[in-house]
Homo-oligomer: A and B are copies of this chain.
Amino acid sequence: MNKNFVRFQPSGSKSPCSEGATILELARDAGVSIESICGGSGKCGKCTVALVAGADLLSPMNDNERRTLSKDEIDSGLRLACQASVVSEGNITVDIPEGSRRGHHRLLAAGIEPDIPLSPAMSKILLKIPPATLRDIRADDDRLLDMLNAEAAVRANIAPGVHQRMPHALREKSWEATATLYMKEELIGIDPGDTTSDILGVAVDVGTTKVVAYLLDLLTGNTIGTESQPNPQIPFGEDVMSRITYAMTNDDGLERLQKTVIGTVNSLIRQLCEKVGKNPVDVLELIMVGNTAMHHMFFGIPPNHLASAPYAPAVRKSISVDPNHLGIEIYPFGKVGSLPNIAGFVGADAVAVLMSSGLYDDDEMGMMIDIGTNTEIIAGSKDRLISCSCASGPAFEGAHIKYGMRAATGAIERVWMDAAEKEVLVRTVDDAPPRGICGSGIVDAVSEMFKCRVISASGKIDASSDWAERTREGPDGKLEFVLAEGESNTDGARGVSITQNDVQEIQLAKAAIFTGVSTLLRKLGIRCSDLKRVYAAGAFGTYVDASAAITIGMYPDIPPERIRFVGNAAGSGARMALKSVDARKLADNLSQKVEYIELASEKDFQSEFAKAMFLPHRELDRFPTVARAVANSFDR
């Protein structure tokens, strides 16, 4: 009986140790997914793992590993899982770094979330109230509030509509009733009997393209459901600016934009509740986050002035309104609130990401990047935080890219080019035949094409590279690079290539982001290497390969392990606020504390942008690691 195992961290899964098997094979046996594109040939380098124990039981490092891993990686004991095999049975422990975990990204989609003490705004108290008698003729309100004060030391006011329910609610179950309190100061509900076991809340992230809603049990703090739908405002305008224009140029434009998104939120609430057998009327509070324009439209606040300088938001502070005021179909005397905004293009969603990332509390310098059509960046440490917004456009969402698509089945999400074999290896979502390419795939492709000199530093596709047979002229007369041939694949496949125009779109997008990055660093008086942590938020930020993003000059040139993926951190921040009034206070403080700079009014904005258009950058000393790697690649 084999008592030796290979254990995989951090999951703790294990597999019997079997001589001759590679770590990659044993990982699969253990049900642990390790990233790998090159089919175990030791070339793509995606399956890098760290040996924690039993390194001497493995085959010695081979040439593939020496070629693929950097000196630093080799020195710190990393191996390629597809190359290292067991030579002598024993107990081995392998740690799989974040970047090598396949599927890890998807798990992150819900967003990481710091463990915070539960202190929701909504609470319930069961009261046994002395009945009204001729000897005790106190009014119902006095009777109820006196009891609340006696039982829970709460001195509350009764919310207007609740008065109407009070007389029956108190008497229906013989003066046993449950009081619902908001912030322990406003009595927003009184129900007959004991209903203390139901306290639900909903957190909503209203993204420009997607609305995600989370149902939370506020007694446990657990998220008991997640649902999403496309933002129904898309038909009124793909991006924020065109929706603002719609609101400005149509008499009932704002009202329509508001109604449609409120309708979707109501539908998500219904779905969430149905799945767990609850009633939307049991949802006591909804907290929304979104960019400033989505926030304004959600609350019916004219977003007009976000469209032109100085881009002042109407509302920065967090707000809380009656559900009826907006038509949100939850408990009618509940609350619908938002986190605060920071500026016209750094909204409540950025505050939420900042809060869930923990950057605001870091001693060392860090940066949070939430990539979307507008990319919000906040940099600094607990002493000072500066934010900006970059018009990065929708390229990473697949828009304006010839074969661009969302990360759905068949989308190329990983690209690796085998320089030796002149082979392009791709991985698609659900391993389906390639139908198009999503954001992470595009960044991988541009990065690989640059490393393999298919494109120059200025982004021009070179017809005479070593990869000429994959380079062809497209219908527009411009060159394009073929990632996958349609005819070579099974049903549903189509040819996918990267066009000259695609490359330029990516350059524009990444230049916009890096201009923000470099401006914030300059304002803080620090360099890229001073950044001890970069929090990559949002769906794209979570899926994109950090090294590829650094290679093309989108992320600052720091060791990839300093990049932490925080998933849909906007949703996480909204959930934190729902679970904790302290988190709301933190958000209010952060929204005031974080400085904002308007990039376009920075005097060197144009030249910074122009320099950032190059791959990775015109000033190569800002990307020393990339410069070295590309030089190596050229040497190959």
With A313-B140, A314-B140, A341-B139 known as contacts, the answer to whether A302 contacts B164 (CB < 8 A) is yes
Q: Contact check, A138 vs B312: say whether CB atoms are below 8 A apart.
A: yes
Q: Does A310 contact B (CB under 8 A)?
A: yes
Chain A residues 150 to 165 lying within 8 A of chain B, measured CB to CB, are 158, 160-161, 163-164
User: Which residues of the partner chain B approach A596 to less than 8 Å between Cβ atoms?
Assistant: 137
In the assembled complex, the Cα of A143 lies from the Cα of B314 at a distance in Å of: 9
Contact sample, A vs B, 14 pairs, CB 8 Å cutoff? A137-B343, A137-B344, A139-B316, A139-B343, A140-B312, A140-B314, A142-B316, A158-B315, A160-B319, A163-B301, A163-B314, A164-B301, A166-B301, A167-B304
Asked whether any CB of chain B lies closer than 8 Å to the CB of A8, the reply is: no
> Do A134 and B598 touch (CB < 8 A)?
yes
Interface residues on A, range: 35 or more
Residue numbers in B under 8 Å from A322 (CB-CB): 160
Instruction: Tell me, rounded to whole Å, the shortest Cβ–Cβ distance linking A449 to chain B.
Output: 39
Q: Does A317 contact B (CB under 8 A)?
A: yes
Check B302 against A167 for contact (C-beta < 8 Å): yes
Q: Which 6 pairs, one residue from A and one from B, show the smallest C-beta to C-beta distance?
A: A139-B316, A160-B321, A132-B312, A139-B313, A167-B314, A134-B310
Given contacts A132-B312, A312-B132, A314-B140, contact A161 B325 (CB under 8 A): yes
Which residue of chain B is the closest to A300 with respect to CB atoms? B164
Q: Determine whether the beta carbon of A302 is less than 8 Å from that of B168.
A: yes
Residues of B within 8 A of A137 (CB): 310-312, 343-344, 596, 598
Rounded to whole angstroms, the CA-CA distance of A311 and B164 in the bound complex is 17
Interface residues of A in 279-321 (CB under 8 A from B): 299-302, 304-305, 309-317, 319-321
Which residues of B are found within 8 Å of A171, using beta-carbon distances? 305
Interface check A274, CB cutoff 8 A: no
A601 within 8 A of partner (CB):
yes
Q: Which of A124-181 contact B (CB under 8 A)?
A: 132-134, 136-143, 158, 160-161, 163-164, 166-168, 171
User: A601 contacts which chain B residues (CB < 8 A)?
Assistant: 134
The distance in angstroms between the C-alpha atoms of A141 and B302, with both chains bound, is 13
What chain B residues lie within 8 Å of A168 (beta carbons)?
A: 302, 304
